Structure 1
Amino acid sequence: MKAFKKISFLLFFALILVNCMGVNAQKPTVYCVGDSTVKNGSGKGDGGLWGWGDFIGQFLDTTQVRIENHALGGTSSRTFQTKGLWQPILDRLQKGDYVLIQFGHNDSGALNDDSRARGTIKGVGEETEEIDNMLTGEHEIVHSYGWYLRKIVKEAKSKGAIPIVMAPIPRNDWNNGKVPRNMDSYGGWAKQIAQEEGVTFINLNDKMASAMEIKGQDAVTGNLFYKRDHTHTSAKGAALAASLIAEGLRESDNSLKNYLLKNPKVKLPAKRNLYLIGDSTVANNGQPTKSGWGMFLEQHLDTTRINMYNKARGGRSSRTFRYEGLWDAVKSQLKPGDFVLMQFGHNDGGHVDKPKYRGSLKGMGDETQEVNRDSTGSETVHTYGWYMKQYIKETQETGATPIVLSMIPRNQWNEGQVIRASESYGTWAKEAVEQAGGYFLDLNEAVAQKYEQLGPDVVAAFFPDDHTHTNGEGAQLNALTVAELIENLRQSDLRDFVFIRKE
């Protein structure tokens, strides 16, 4: 009996020991808190923009530490707390966890307004301002930037966690080849709080500004940042910021440095693919006076996240692009998540049964016509609508997304108005989408409206050879219009890969 009790006691003691070892062996968590430069949107590259918190895990041994990015776009050191975002993190903090903290970009906003009310009092002092918050309707005492930052640091330390404070990343602003620093404002105030609280400070602002200056403004803009946005980084910019945080950790005496990978391999997000099919008004024709809009669309795309392939071919119709096997070549490359922009119509009005054998039957029906094509045998010709619906359906079968555009207008006018294709191919393109699915962009109408604003004399310069083909300037206007239509296509995530360059 005594032996049994002794064995039971030893087993019980061993169980407690194992449990204790399990608790002690639990991986620490690295929490990221901050604004959209730490995590943009959902953290999946919304609009082509990323935060460094999305990449910091690629520099740490995630078999030994966990990464949780709780940053939220639009927040300041104040609103991250007043919105209740900090408290759940604080409740979960364990001894040995880490908190990476970066605020400042939004702290300079208004203290009280009816849109965001996110500003903080400048500095690190104890001054306050009482307000009746116009946004929340609540009475609130607003503190300084330093007060809010110190509160996060102190509360993290009280749980045994290890705060690490960052100076906010620089904006893509330049002055005589130099990037302005923020050490006389939020960067300096962040450093002061870190020093007063005895925690690690990383001057991410200066590190990244120096790296940007080495690359130069032209290499940074459109690569690490976009021309449309001087605050938020691309995937490459966010990865650079994360690498500089890792560098700062390596230079510090912070224990998080022990979890840094020796040879990190940064993996940028997998690219999606966009294919263009159509005729010479889309294609790369190699002729300055016959430039397709597909030649210039790429400059409005986030090419760090999407590849564009212009497979349009001059002289083709919805019929011949298929008959010649051009569509089969594109279709064989399509995979789930890809996109196909398709614009036909200019050549579909040609002869059905005479060389060049490219005309399609008018309309949306299922009628056919048998045609003998000289030495190449016979062909069953279908309607324009039938061909377009086949492109749509076969694109969908691959898991790709079909987007149909009405054809760009010709330089043809009637009493000061551009003649539309709304009585023929423009309407049939729309009806094909309504019947088969996908998305429709009325490029014909959108470009016609722009032509009318410019007037016949200006537009005539876009068409030096004929009334169908534009020069480079006209093609750029059409490409911009396509990008604008995609950007407004809220139902498709292709819009997340578009940004508008209007220079």
Structure 2
Amino acid sequence: MEIRRRTLLRAGAFAAVPGLGHHQRRRKPTVFVAGDSTAATYATADHPRAGWGQALPVFLHDDVRVVNEALSGASSKSFYDLGRLDRILTAIKPGDTLLVSFGHNDEKITDPARGTDPWTTFQDHLRLYLDGARAARATPILVTPVERRRFTSAGTPYLSHGEYPAAMIALAAETGTPLIDLTRLSFELWSALGPETTKDYLLWLEAGESVNYPDGVQDNTHFQAHGAIEVARLVVATGREIPGRNRRALHRTDIPDTVLTWPPTRPAESIEGV
């Protein structure tokens, strides 16, 4: 696959050179996030909408940096085609971590720019992220797509991602890649909370409740702050390879939504050329 060769060549070009000075070797380890809108960082105009990548620092010590490149609307294919993986590979260093979470938009198979097949092109594109990170001597971690809020009229939860999580799990096993099964973890959380309480986690707001959503919103895919924090908790609690995990924060049940910050613009959408 030509794109795989291209990615490896780029990653090799950006690999760290031996003999770096003491100060450079002491740089903060960085967690990069490659993903879609469920992980993205949102702006003040989007508040209280938030992504789980935006909430990752809540559960990490201050000596770990998070670079959230997750992009709204991205699939494993479009993220690569837009050059977003290349951006990460120019910056990633030995000892860093790359969280890779796609699936929501890969499922849009009628869209040639984004759609992938779970057992062929989805896995092929995910390999580019794994191979690129490893070529840079960083640690890739696959994260299955977070589950949507889906309940039948009787209040029974059901899965919505088809075979994409299973394809990612199989690829992780085949390549020896650490995996966070966020599909299962989030489904278990939504199931335990039930159809009404999950509205406090997903972006459900009444008319007039937020100036940013004056007519209200009923969004079963994206999170408000509380949901983003709790999904980030699932990611960090399960991702034992993630550096700087803050166990005290992971055990806190009283983390307020106000710990999150919203920048003036969506950072992943404010990059020149995107």
TM-score interval (norm. to shorter): 0.7 to 0.9
Moved more, 176-185 or 82-91: 176-185
CA distance in 2: counterparts of 1:56 and 1:161, whole angstroms:
18
**How big is the shift at 1:110?**
4.1
CA distance in 2: counterparts of 1:246 and 1:223, whole angstroms:
18
Report what 1:28 is aligned to.
Answer: 29
Secondary structure of 1:37's match?
Answer: coil
CA distance in 1: counterparts of 2:44 and 2:164, whole angstroms:
27
Call closer, same or farther: CA 1:248–1:45 in 2, change over 3 Å: farther
Verify the 8 A CA contact 1:123 1:185 in the aligned structure 2. Answer: yes
**How big is the shift at 1:179?**
2.6
**How big is the shift at 1:164?**
0.9
Verify the 8 A CA contact 1:45 1:235 in the aligned structure 2. Answer: no
Secondary structure of 2:258's match?
Answer: coil
Report what 1:124 is aligned to.
Answer: 119
Match of 2:122 among 139, 145, 155: 145
CA distance in 2: counterparts of 1:23 and 1:49, whole angstroms:
36
CA distance in 1: counterparts of 2:68 and 2:257, whole angstroms:
17
Verify the 8 A CA contact 1:33 1:99 in the aligned structure 2. Answer: yes
Report what 1:49 is aligned to.
Answer: 49
Call closer, same or farther: CA 1:224–1:50 in 2, change over 3 Å: same
Give the greater-gyration-radius structure (CA): 1
Kindly indicate whether residue 65 of structure 2 is the aligned counterpart of residue 66 of structure 1. Answer: yes
Q: Counterparts in 2 of 1:306-321, with a 5 A limit? A: none
Verify the 8 A CA contact 1:168 1:187 in the aligned structure 2. Answer: yes
Kindly indicate whether residue 259 of structure 2 is the aligned counterpart of residue 259 of structure 1. Answer: no
Report what 1:162 is aligned to.
Answer: 139
CA distance in 1: counterparts of 2:103 and 2:32, whole angstroms:
18
CA distance in 1: counterparts of 2:236 and 2:177, whole angstroms:
16
1:140-173 CA-to-partner distances (Å, cap 9, x unmatched) read xxxx111111111111111101011111111111
Read off the aligned partner of 2:108 and give its amino acid letter: G
Q: How many residues align?
A: 226
**How big is the shift at 1:178?**
3.6
For structure 1, the 5+ residue unaligned runs are 1-17, 126-143, 272-304, 306-503
**Over aligned residue pairs, what C-alpha RMSD do you find?**
2.4
**How big is the shift at 1:216?**
1.3
Call closer, same or farther: CA 1:173–1:112 in 2, change over 3 Å: closer
Read off the aligned partner of 1:56 and give its amino acid letter: L
**How big is the shift at 1:38?**
0.3
Q: Counterparts in 2 of 1:205-284, with a 5 A limit? A: 205-226=183-204, 228-249=218-239, 252=240, 254=241, 256=242, 259-264=244-249, 266-269=255-258
1:365-419 CA-to-partner distances (Å, cap 9, x unmatched) read xxxxxxxxxxxxxxxxxxxxxxxxxxxxxxxxxxxxxxxxxxxxxxxxxxxxxxx
Q: Which has the higher contact order (CA 8 A, sep 6+)?
A: 2
CA distance in 1: counterparts of 2:22 and 2:34, whole angstroms:
30
Read off the aligned partner of 2:125 and give its amino acid letter: Y
Return the TM-score normalized by structure 2: 0.75
Report what 1:80 is aligned to.
Answer: 79
CA distance in 1: counterparts of 2:200 and 2:60, whole angstroms:
28
Q: Counterparts in 2 of 1:83-482, with a 5 A limit? A: 83-112=82-111, 117-120=113-116, 122-125=117-120, 144-175=121-152, 176-181=154-159, 184-226=162-204, 228-249=218-239, 252=240, 254=241, 256=242, 259-264=244-249, 266-269=255-258
Verify the 8 A CA contact 1:50 1:232 in the aligned structure 2. Answer: yes
For structure 2, the 5+ residue unaligned runs are 1-18, 205-216, 263-274
Secondary structure of 1:23's match?
Answer: helix
**How big is the shift at 1:222?**
4.2
Secondary structure of 2:248's match?
Answer: coil
CA distance in 1: counterparts of 2:171 and 2:179, whole angstroms:
9
